[in-house]
Structure 1
Amino acid sequence: DEKNNKSSLTMLLRVGGGQSAHGLQEGIHWHMNIANDIYYASTDESRQVIEWVKSINKETGEETIYRLKDKNVPTPPEDKIRKMDCIDCHNRPAHIYKEPRRMVNLQMEMGEIDTSLPFIKSVSVQALEGEYKTKDEAQKGIGTFITNFYKANYPDLAVSRSKDINKAIKAVRELYAVNYFPEMKVSWRHYPNNLGHLNYDGCYRCHDGKHVSSTGKKITNDCNSCHILLAQKIPGKPEQISLSGLKFEHPGGISISLENQKCSDCHGIPYKVIKEE
């Protein structure tokens, strides 16, 4: 928004354990608990589309097969079935290409981008996401885009705050230089990070509530299975705190229902505009 109002939240991750001896049968690392084996089949080389999942409880021998509902998913051939391991979530341990909004957030937090500049968060992200063919073109384009925005919409401020605007331009250019490589067609858009589910489907590749067994059992999409929201602060409202967990409230006054939607539907590639009915 114009004032770059800050929202924050504190989240407790249910990491869980990777050994059955620890007695932990829940949490994110349940997938790696040696009492379980998880197999899946994807329909693309990047393993972003998963339609078939098999879970094996090695202590009881019970097998459960989940298929994407509303699709006639056949049993895949053996050479297409993969046993899940750490890399299926931790697929970007290095060479991480960061998503623009988080990068800009950090620069604003550090004071490299002045939060008192109207709409600077939005303008910075748009400048980073411009269509540039080379890095040199990007460096020029970022400066032009941000400068022209303030000249057109805040002409007096464009003059009186030129030093702060130029400092912001410098910070945005530096972000682009280490995270976007247009000549090689490399950026956050090209290499999904499967940790989490904000900008990419990640966890939602399976945990979307649409993978169902023959008995009607679903792979859970209950948010609290993997994390609990302990605190949240939204502009204009007092901070909410609860050790038993809060219901997430989307910042920005978005009134549309978020039920049955994935974060990546709007925050993914490309960004989508939310229109309120």
Structure 2
Amino acid sequence: MAEPKVRRMKALFLMFAGAISLILLVLGLYNLVEFSDSVAFCGELCHDVMYPEYTTYQASSHSRVTCAECHVGSGADYLVRSKVTGIPLIFATITNSYERPIPTPVKNLRPARDTCEQCHRPERFAGDLVRVRTTFLADELNTEISNARILRVGGGQEGVASGIHWHVAAKVWFVSQDEKRQEIDWVGIEEDGQYSQQFVDPTMVGELTAEQISTERQLMDCIDCHNRATHVFFSPEKLVDAAMVEGSIDKELPFIKREITSILYPPNPSLEDAYTALESIRDFYQNNYPQIFNTKRDAIEKAIVEAKNVARLTTFPHMQVTWESYQDNAAHQTSPGCFRCHGKLVEKTPEGTGPTINVDCDLCHVELEQPIK
């Protein structure tokens, strides 16, 4: 009688131990998956690779949004996809075979409607917004120049939307055979299941077939313009301007913008070299402006600290990243941006081709004529 009882006890023990092991395994896997979606995993564990992106992310307006919320989103489907597509990246990191800088755009990125639009609502009509931009010349007085512009953000529901956000409120399809999407070959506006208008690169007329368009077309979304929504690599000039507006760099210090930007451009061989070079600002004022050096010593020290922060946001030699490495399609000062389509593509008509897409600047923004004092 004792032997069956012992066997039952063993069986119960094994079942109990198995259940505990299974629970621990599930919890362990859950914690592992959760950790792999964390900012610490993306930005710190892969420190060398992601250091530029992680650094600019921390200084961005999305710094409280986790990496996974934008790059993965909710749901098991994209969670599994992200883990599978991440395996080669982990291997590249371990073997030090990753590309420098990291290539963009991210392939197979989840549509912004599933990520960005969980917080942002382009269908909400925003109307016109006024933006003031202040810059400083690199002269002795750090001459301040402020200009205002009206941004026609617009937005609204499909069919009645207007302004810049019309592009995502409407159904706008495009074809780009350029890996970086800086060259747009075709655009089609869909209404009621068919194209109400089509535009094509004049050099591609007759080359793009309907079948090719059908298989290669992509629906335009937020990221096609806001492609640097978080990982923005600003130039030293822009960062110094922002710091002077904010007051963390005293604009009353003679030549302060010139001194900082001349040290940080071109980029230094290392961040340590940049930090060392910026210490010379102290000597500049001591030798050339002794009175200011004596009366504004705290402001000079504060400016050096902020200049080092600018260096931290612009010096990434290991990944070969500078403020010129990536195109920013939300504007068109340093990249084609809007002009990938506007002023380039011509309308397809039954007779052949028509006018180009309107390139009137006032479609998106209106510059106020008088600078703001």
- Flag whether TM exceeds 0.5 (same fold): yes
Q: Identity over the aligned pairs, expressed in percent?
A: 33
Structure 2 letter corresponding to 1:134: S
What does residue range 132-151 of structure 1 map to in structure 2 within 5 Å? Answer: 132-144=268-280, 146=281, 150=284
The 1:206–1:65 alpha-carbon spacing in structure 2 relative to 1, beyond 3 Å, is closer
Aligned equivalent of 1:46, options 166, 175, 180: 180
Aligned equivalent of 1:210, options 344, 351, 364: 344
Distance 1:84 1:20 in 2: 14
1:220 aligns with 2:364: no
| Superposed CA RMSD | 2.9
CA contact (8 A) 2:174 2:220 kept: yes
1:112 aligns with 2:248: yes
The aligned residue for residue 195 of structure 1 is 330
Distance 2:360 2:332 in 1: 13
Aligned equivalent of 1:11, options 149, 153, 172: 149
The 1:46–1:160 alpha-carbon spacing in structure 2 relative to 1, beyond 3 Å, is same
The 1:47–1:120 alpha-carbon spacing in structure 2 relative to 1, beyond 3 Å, is same
Q: Greater relative contact order (Cα 8 A, min sep 6): structure 1 or 2?
A: 1
Aligned equivalent of 1:168, options 272, 289, 303: 303
CA contact (8 A) 1:13 1:227 kept: yes
Query: How far does the alpha carbon of each residue in 1:9-42 deviate from its partner, in whole angstroms, 9 at most, with x for none?
Result: 2222211224225x23x311121123x3221314
What does residue range 1-277 of structure 1 map to in structure 2 within 5 Å? Answer: 1=137, 2=139, 3-20=141-158, 23-24=160-161, 26-34=162-170, 36-43=171-178, 45-50=179-184, 52-59=185-192, 61-67=195-201, 69=202, 71=203, 74-75=207-208, 77-78=212-213, 79-144=215-280, 146=281, 150=284, 155-157=287-289, 160-161=292-293, 163=297, 164-207=299-342, 209-213=343-347, 214-230=352-368, 232-233=370-371
Shift of 1:226: 0.6
Distance 2:323 2:249 in 1: 21
The 1:141–1:75 alpha-carbon spacing in structure 2 relative to 1, beyond 3 Å, is farther
Distance 1:122 1:198 in 2: 22
Distance 2:204 2:173 in 1: 21
Distance 1:224 1:195 in 2: 16
Distance 2:150 2:248 in 1: 29
Distance 2:327 2:252 in 1: 33
- SS of the residue aligned with 1:94? coil
CA contact (8 A) 1:66 1:219 kept: no
The 1:6–1:14 alpha-carbon spacing in structure 2 relative to 1, beyond 3 Å, is same
Q: State the TM-score, normalized to the length of structure 1.
A: 0.68
Distance 2:181 2:155 in 1: 24
Query: How far does the alpha carbon of each residue in 1:165-214 deviate from its partner, in whole angstroms, 9 at most, with x for none?
Result: 4432221111121343222222322232221223332222222x232234
Aligned residues: 223
Shift of 1:125: 2.4
- SS of the residue aligned with 1:20? coil
Q: State the TM-score, normalized to the length of structure 2.
A: 0.52
CA contact (8 A) 1:31 1:37 kept: yes
CA contact (8 A) 1:194 1:203 kept: yes
- SS of the residue aligned with 2:279? helix
- SS of the residue aligned with 2:181? coil
Runs of 4+ in 1 over 4 A off after TM superposition: none
Distance 1:158 1:47 in 2: 53
